[in-house]
């Protein structure tokens, strides 16, 4: 059985993503693994005229806050946590990061904040399960 040394956890601040973090922390402690938390901003390109810098700054500040909380929670449990904030399609960036970081496992919440988008486009967790080259644990 392959060893788990790197775990990727998509985080969006939702209760399900935080449950995913809890499970990842538990597994990381058992396996002496590290965790990378990823958040994907899906900010559309903006023009100089119609830009929304204050809303984006507020969102980025909120994301950094819950990533710091995840890092603290991990540290309190003896687990090394690094965060990664990227822009673009959520599912694609999770898969791309998993490949680039050579993770051994992806732990993802079953539902996040994107309920309307999921209704029309299919869930992120479903996309990740079918696209990942590593095992995926979905946490409800």
Beta pairing, strands 136-139 & 105-109: parallel
Q: What is the mean pLDDT of residues 34-40?
A: 97
Q: Say what the pLDDT of residue 36 is.
A: 98
Domains along the chain with CATH numbers: 6-139 (3.40.50.620)
Decide: 34 and 3 in contact? Cβ < 8 Å. Answer: no
What lies within 8 Å, CB to CB, of 113 at 6+ separation is: 12, 13, 14
Decide: 109 and 20 in contact? Cβ < 8 Å. Answer: yes
Question: pLDDT tens digit string along 80-139?
Answer: 999 999 999 999 999 999 999 999 999 998 865 554 444 444 488 889 999 999 999 999
Q: Say what the pLDDT of residue 45 is.
A: 63
Question: pLDDT tens digit string along 38-87?
Answer: 999 877 666 455 555 667 888 889 999 999 999 999 999 999 999 999 99
Whether 22 shows a pLDDT value over 70: the answer reads: yes
User: Is the pTM of the predicted complex or chain greater than 0.95?
Assistant: no
């Amino acid at each position: 059985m392959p060893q788990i040394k790197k775990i990727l956890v998509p985080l969006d601040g939702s209760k399900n993503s935080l449950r995913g973090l809890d499970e990842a922390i538990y597994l990381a402690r058992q396996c002496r693994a590290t965790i990378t938390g990823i958040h994907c901003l899906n900010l559309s390109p903006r023009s100089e005229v119609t830009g929304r810098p204050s809303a984006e700054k507020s969102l980025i500040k909120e994301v950094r806050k819950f990533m710091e909380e995840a890092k603290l929670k991990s540290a309190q449990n003896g687990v090394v946590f690094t965060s990664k904030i990227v822009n673009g399609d959520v599912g694609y960036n999770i898969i791309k990061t998993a490949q680039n970081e050579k993770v051994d496992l992806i732990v993802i919440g079953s539902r996040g904040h994107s309920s309307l988008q999921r209704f029309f486009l299919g869930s992120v967790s479903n996309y990740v399960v079918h696209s990942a080259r590593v095992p995926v644990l979905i946490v409800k």
